[in-house]
Amino acid sequence: MGLLEGKKAVIFGVANEKSIAWAIAQAFKEEGAELALTYANDAIAKRVFPLAESIGVSQVLPCDVTSDEDIQKVFFEIGKKWDGIDILVHSLAFANRDELKGSFLNTSRAGFALAMDISAYSLIALAREAYPLMKVKGGSVLAMTYYAAEKVFPNYNVMGVAKSALEANVRYLAEAVGVDGIRVNAISAGPVKTLAASGVGGFHQIAAHIEARAPMRSNIEQRDVANAALFLASDLSRRVTGGVHFVDSGYNIMGM
Ligand code: NAD
Ligand code: 0WE
């Protein structure tokens, strides 16, 4: 019996085969879950449809999380096919490229609002629309965060502030829906070379720093995050909620 046998999962954030969300989708499928995937726009749809087909995903739906209408449509469509949702995965982030370099002092009002909207607020919006379908049996909500929410990382800038807000959202949502048997957790992943990370100057140096300094002297892989996600999505973690769980070779424990 798979860990997620009989469970239905909706996963936001597959862009390509390197996405953390894709590793999670594969791991969930292997453990018996039935899946729905969403994609941000038409350019990404071209990559997501073949991936979805390759593992037998039941539903693939468009969703730009800046649109309340898109979000409502997703859960309306899912509600037509499924009697409930057990797992919701939020694996999304965005800031304008020019906000992810140079001085944090230059963070613009519009850039701040956009990063917050897509990377932090969207978790609340997705959880609210999923809630009627999730409260039937209880469930697990997962978000992806980064240690730059807690400590200053050069160039991560406004995304660091957005990840702090995302982690606070995890705690407040956990309190709001705990009574309905719904758990909310975040995984704080070490740096991994995905589409979002390859848009970043100096990624190689960041990865080299982890290899030199992390307790385990190694970088993580997408599958490492997916394995932690399996635990948090399954009944193995049935009393675990509101937390930020590191998958980072131990990097976060280091002082100097
Ligand atoms: P990725 O580029 O594969 O995934 C990011 C996703 O966000 C993409 O699928 C993109 O389409 C989606 N997205 C952006 N704007 C959107 C919008 N308006 N509506 C809907 N979707 C939108 O990169 P990834 O590294 O797999 O990122 C997934 C999550 O993991 C993010 O929250 C990221 O911050 C987090 N994370 C990544 C790393 C890393 O080093 N890669 C480390 C820690 C945390
Ligand atoms: O969360 C992330 C990625 C966040 C991200 C990346 C991009 C690049 C392309 C959000 N928005 C965009 N917008 C773009 O146009 N990570 C944890 C990976 C990451 O991003 C960094 C990092 C690391 C690591 C940005 C600066 C410094 C280090």
Q: Under CATH, which architecture does the 8-247 domain have?
A: 3-Layer(aba) Sandwich (3.40)
DSSP, collapsed to helix, strand or coil, labels residue 31 as: coil
In the predicted structure, residue 9 carries a pLDDT above the cut 80: yes
Contact 166, 123 (CB under 8 A): yes
CA of 197 to the centre of ligand 2 (A): 5
List Cβ<8 Å contacts ≥24 apart for 45-48.
47/15, 47/16, 47/17, 48/14, 48/15
Residue spans per domain, the chain: 8-247
Does residue 196's CB lie within 6 angstroms of at least one atom of ligand 1?
A: yes
- Give 59's strand partners: 36
| Mean local confidence (pLDDT), 31-56 | 97
Q: 91-150 pLDDT, tens per residue?
A: 999 999 999 999 999 999 999 999 999 999 999 999 999 999 999 899 999 999 999 999
Whether residue 15 has its Cβ less than 6 Å from ligand 1: yes
**What pLDDT was estimated at residue 201?**
80
pLDDT at 10 > cutoff 80: yes
Tell which one of 200, 210, 244 to mutate to probe ligand 2, the residue whose CB is within 8 A of the most ligand atoms. Answer: 200
Residue (of 124, 142, 132) closest to 28 by Cα position: 142
User: What's the whole-number mean pLDDT along residues 34-60?
Assistant: 97
Q: What is the pLDDT of residue 204?
A: 93
pLDDT of 58:
81
pLDDT above 80: residue 199: no
Q: Are 204 and 210 in contact (CB under 8 A)?
A: no
Which residue owns the Cα nearest ligand 2 atom 18?
197
β partners of residue 11: 37, 89
Edge-to-edge, what's the strand order for the sheet holding 8-12? 59-62, 34-39, 8-12, 87-90, 139-145, 182-189, 244-247
Question: What integer best gives the mean pLDDT of the chain?
Answer: 97
Q: Which helix (H) or strand (E) holds 26?
A: helix 20-30
Question: Residue whose CA is closest, atom 11 of ligand 2?
Answer: 94
pTM for the full model? Answer: 0.99
* DSSP per position, 41-61: SHHHHHHHHHHHHHHT-SEEE
- CA 254, distance to chain mean position in Å, is 24
Quick one: which H or E segment has residue 203? helix 203-213
Q: Report CA torsion sign: 242, 31, 40, 159.
A: positive
Residue keyed to tokens 């739906």: 61
